Chain A
Amino acid sequence: MSAASRKAAESLAESLSKQVKHFSRTETRRLIHQFEGRCGQQPGRRAGSGLDRGQFRNMLHRTFGLTHDIIMDRVFSVFDRDNDGYIGVREWIAGLAVFLRGSLDEKIKFCFEVYDLNGDGAISREEMFHMLKWSLSRQPAEEDPEEGIKDLVEIVLKKMDHGHNSKVSYADFEKTVREENLLLEAFGTCLPNAKSIQAFEQQTFQDLPQL
């Protein structure tokens, strides 16, 4: 790495670590370094634009063990703040902050954004149905597969729909999750589990040679 680019990275880390509260400066530098490594792996792509949807999904699946297609797409969209189809370095670090070390509040907000498929500020019955569609996997053949899902949706609505308007607003969601933390990822896993977080942090922050 040239002296100039090193200096640029240094100042980027400086400014980012001030914006993102969960990472120290050193950690931010490491994350930037690692991010650049990831982007560089793709030949023929201009560095700087960041990770595209495919790369990102790949990473979510391999590193953080997410499996649900719809959810992974949504996680991409939530990371991609400026909606340009690429995750830039700032978006990457801001997203990871929540992903790895987010407080409950931040996670609630993140999950809600993921689940609000059309971004209209509420999770509707149809959206729930869509997300939970494959959640009853080993159903015997004689049962109507959709019936069970419908039932699940009604159960969730009963628990979450405090406004009694057949959809779950952000306030509804927040209230429910505060009462029952288990429902944070009610419509599908969208956050990494403790084990993969640990593995990722280890790999990023400790195993790399000193910069």
Chain B
Amino acid sequence: MGVALTRAAQWTGPARLKDTPANEALVRAVAAFVEQLGSRHPREAECVFQEPLRWRTALGASDFQTEYDISGPTVQSRERDEAGRPLLHLSPPDVSVLTFSQLSELLQVAENKKLEEVRACLEANRDPLVQILGPEIEQKDMPSELKSRLLALLQQLDSDLLRLSIEHVSPWVPSYSLKSEVELLWTFCGDENLLKSVKYTSDYVFPNGCRSPPWRQVHGDICHLLVQPYDIEVLHITCSISGVFLNMVITQEGAEESMYDRRGDLYEGLVSLLAATSPHFAKNVSRQVSLSRAQASCDSLENRSRSIISCRANGDESCSWQLVMLFVIRQKPWNPCLLSSPLLTLHFLFSSPFKDHITLFPYFSFVLYSGLCVSSKTTSDDFSESSSESEEDEELTERRTETNSDLPSEYWQIQKLVKYMKWGNQTATVIVLCALRDFNLAQETCQLAIRDAGGLEVLLNLLGTEEVKCMIGSLMILKEISRNSQNSKAIADLGGLQTMVDILDSPNKDLKCLAAETIANVAKFRKDRRSVRKHGGISRLVELLDCVPDPSPSTLQKQRDVEVARCGALALWSCSKSTKNKEAVRRAGAIPLLARLLKSPHENMLIPVVATLQECASEPSYRVAIQTEGMIEDLVKNLSRENQELQMHCASAIFKCAQDKRTRDLVQQYGGLEPLVSLLSHSENKQLLAASTGAIWKCSLSMENVAKFEEYNTLEILVKLLTNQPEEVLVNVAGALGEFARKPANRVTINNCGGIPPLVNLLTGTNQALLVNVTCALGACASESKCMGTIDSLDGVRLLWSLLKNPNPDVQASAAWAICPCIENAKDAGEMVRSFVGGLELIVNLLKSSHLEVLTSVCAAIGNIAKDKENLAIITDHRVVPMLAKLTHTNDDTLRRYLAGAVEHCCTWGTNCAMFGEEGAVAPLVRYLKSTDPAVHQATALALYQLSKDPNNCINMYENGVVKPLVDMMGSTDEVLQEAAARCVRNIRLLALANEKARYG
């Protein structure tokens, strides 16, 4: 009451309370307190005040009843204190009161004017605590036990009032930006040019983000800081909603209040205040801050790391360490797992541009070390289930910094309620459950309070009782608090999933719904999803789906059924993130049920249903089922709905399914291509964009679909999406462009819309899926000479070539494939290839790869390279002939085809032809003629013709029975094959003739 009244209440003048909502709430609370004190604490209410409370009242003698001595206008109570004073004395307009019970009586008399009375009383008695309890309250030694109990009650009121008044202050405080600014200052500490130290005056953070005491929050203060610069005294700084300012210096004892008053100007930020106050700081800070600011403003990881590098490049050794630290700190709000997961950190550090700067490595190791310290607490179990799980799974960190003494009052209230829940019977428990629901359960403090008090155990125990009301109440709370991952983990660890799975069998539909929703929240972790399956939850959840979606459910009963199905779908969505669960869901017969629910008109139903399908579509069995159960039509239909989340899941499902030709055709047949393209306009929703570009990519695997897409100008839109997009989107866009570019006309379009430069730019990235798609697209474009010109001018071939060094065989192969058309179409291709230092050696050495696709593509590229004689000479020096010869034993027709091509072209240099024979390449090549692939026949015949120029090879071929198949092939309709076969036979025949001639002369 004391603190609240002097500090929280807003006064105008010495004795008027302002008419504000905060003050009104305060007066109301005081009135309620006084009224309740009489009935709840009768003994304390009789405690006589040290000094009477006096004020001018609007009441008159006529308002009082017979229990009072009324003589004329004056009224006296019959009760008197030890000194004989009446406990209430009214001589209008003045009244004086000596106990709370009299005060409470008086308020009852005042009826609807009681608030005015309380207000008048508060205004007239500015320090009521001293009047009630006497001045000795200052000295802690209380005269009587009664008084100390009263004091305790009043103090409780005081803190209630303070909380009340904070609620009336803006609930939202822009504390976040301030916090990051303080973090920035922390990174300056210890630097001789900048600051000695920066400290908060209080470590406790209120739930609204403020650190100031409540009575200062009322004035808009957020926190107070003590900053020690190098050149001047400690600065006391207040950060408030309106800005940052310096405080008065405390000059005398007891002037505590003036400590917070403003001295000097109001600044918009801490740095500007410090710069204005400390000349030393001002001198040195400008450089630091501009660097950090530039860096802080860049949101993407990439940009931020670049700015660090650029500062390194400028030789600014001193700030690099700070920037690395700052970088990691800055990372925290976005990515709390960074520090907690050393693997991620490693990955991030070494994939970033940092990696080339050896001098920064000591700092990395520090970051890693601190990361390891945090993460050593969280051990991750290893499970056999592989699936589409994200990193989110492992993001469990203990985030509890508050100490118990500083917890807000809700925490203690919840603790008390949980205690009652433990002791209470069914009736008390239901009351407590309802009261608990009134707390903001989304708030972490409340969630933790329940957990700390052992509430989770009690709530889960309730689920095992027969009392439906208790179960419902308990699940309602569990559903809310299980959104917190620590709580959901704790619930799972206590065996809650099994209990909730059992509840799914209950005939009560409310219970089923709540249990399913809670399972949806709890089953976020692999082992929990597994435990749902192990306890038979999957089949029960699938049973919930059994309902016929009705566009307008006529009865309450039907609405309930729909709700049950919706909750079931929500839970399945969570569960279906594990591979084995997907299989279990299918076996439980979910697919036809999901297909039926997919006809529902309600978005809140469709989202979990489509999301589950989308999640499961990673399995081939689902993809088949989605097609055969006719779900494509519904998925396409829902693409055109307004809800972006739904659109995203639909597009994602199509993305995963459209690998299949029939599915692609169905998407087109149901008119799905146009809505997919129109989704591309939501460029701000990256998940949606990734899903829709993915669907377009997969649909464009069919040339008919490509033609359809062209009608909607898809190519132009896609090209625009090649810049400033996240990698998930880029991968799909590049993939789609690769498919589109199979049509020559589209290659020209891509070139004309400026698609080549961004594609070439992407070649410098690190994402391997992206690199594969980009190289494919560029390779397809390179077949067009105009595009080739653009690629060449951007030095794209060199970049493609450097990708041959990529450790990923898929990237190597697709780069080699892309190189082929480049060599075919580039002007001066031979010269260009030679200009890549070490390039030819690199590609020849790839023939040692064990990856079939790499070998095939490299053979194709070598075939092209060897068309240039000088290059052929170089690769011959790099021993290309024995390497190719070694590969000839393959059984793969595609490799055979390109290998034969490479052999053909390599024969034309020096002794290569004979060398192939020596290396044993002839006999295997002859066997290629038995292949069933006509393309292999052609390439082999051409190779054999070249080889037949060497007499030893001819003999070898003849001995391996080459003549018969070649003669057959001379009758082929393929003219190239005809000719090559004939020429080869001719060479063999000529040799035979010459031989005879020599022998018989």
Contact = CB atoms under 8 A, between A and B. Distances in A.
A159 B420 CA distance: 17
B420 A151 contact: yes
Contacts of A139: 423
Contacts of A194: 468, 507-508
B435 A185 contact: no
B490 interface: no
A155 B435 contact: yes
Contact of B425 (A137, A180, A182): A137
Contact of A182 (B422, B424, B472): B472
B472 A135 contact: no
Q: Which of A138, A180, A195 has the most CB of B within 10 A?
A: A180
B468 A156 contact: no
Contact of A135 (B35, B36, B427): B427
Contacts of A155: 417, 431-432, 435
B39 A125 contact: yes
Contacts of A187: 427
Interface string A180-209: 101101111100011100000000000000
A152 interface: yes
B473 interface: yes
A183 B39 contact: no
Interface string B437-465: 11000000000000000000000000000
B78 to A, nearest CB: 26
Nearest to A194: B468
Given A183-B434, A187-B427, A152 B469 contact: no
A195 B469 CA distance: 13
A189 B426 contact: yes
Q: In the complex, which range does the number of interface residues on chain A fall in?
A: 20 to 34
A137 B423 contact: yes
B164 to A, nearest CB: 14
A138 B435 CA distance: 20
A148 B35 CA distance: 21
Interface string A155-166: 110110000001
Contact of B433 (A152, A182, A189): A182
Given A180-B434, A182-B434, A194-B508, A136 B426 contact: no
A152 B472 CA distance: 20
A22 interface: no
B424 A159 contact: no
Nearest to A155: B435
A188 B427 contact: yes
Interface residues of B, number: 30
B39 A136 contact: no
B430 interface: yes
B625 to A, nearest CB: 38
Nearest to A149: B428
Contacts of B40: 150
Contacts of B466: 193, 195
A76 B40 CA distance: 32
Given A182-B430, A182-B433, A182-B434, A136 B424 contact: yes
A182 B508 contact: no
A185 B423 contact: no
B634 to A, nearest CB: 36
A205 B143 CA distance: 72
Contact of A185 (B420, B422, B430): B430
Contact of A186 (B422, B430, B467): B430
A96 interface: no
Contacts of A152: 420, 424, 428, 431-432
Nearest to B430: A182
B416 interface: yes
A193 B422 CA distance: 22
Interface string B923-939: 00000000000000000
Given A125-B39, A182-B469, A136 B420 contact: yes
A39 B393 CA distance: 66
A134 B473 CA distance: 21
Given A182-B469, A193-B468, A194-B508, A132 B427 contact: yes
B423 A159 contact: no
Given A135-B428, A159-B435, A182-B434, A148 B423 contact: yes
Contacts of A134: 425
A155 B416 CA distance: 12
Contact of A132 (B428, B437, B468): B428
A186 B472 contact: no
A150 B422 CA distance: 17
Contacts of A182: 430, 433-434, 469, 472-473
A31 B934 CA distance: 91
A36 to B, nearest CB: 33
Nearest to B508: A194
A185 B469 CA distance: 9
Interface in B377-431: 416-417, 420, 422-428, 430-431
B33 to A, nearest CB: 13
B423 A136 contact: yes
Interface in A113-130: 125
Nearest to B425: A135
A187 B472 CA distance: 17
Contacts of B508: 194
Nearest to A137: B425
Contacts of A138: 422-423
Nearest to B39: A125
A148 B417 CA distance: 10
A139 B434 CA distance: 21
A194 B471 CA distance: 14
Nearest to B438: A159
Contacts of A185: 427, 430, 469
Contacts of B431: 152, 155-156, 183, 186
A158 B413 CA distance: 14
A189 B416 contact: no
A151 B412 CA distance: 14
A156 B433 CA distance: 11
Contacts of B432: 152, 155
A93 B596 CA distance: 45
Contacts of A158: 435
A151 B420 CA distance: 10
Contacts of B467: 193
A133 B430 CA distance: 15
A164 B435 CA distance: 18
A194 B466 CA distance: 11
A183 B420 CA distance: 17
Contacts of A193: 466-468
Given A136-B425, A183-B430, 4 more contacts: A132-B427, A136-B423, A166-B39, A194-B507
Give the 10 A-B residue pairs with the shortest CB-CB distance, closest first. A135-B428, A136-B423, A155-B435, A138-B423, A135-B427, A139-B423, A188-B427, A135-B425, A136-B424, A182-B469
Interface of B: 35-36, 39-40, 416-417, 420, 422-428, 430-435, 437-438, 466-469, 472-473, 507-508
5 contacts: A136-B423, A136-B425, A148-B423, A155-B432, A166-B35
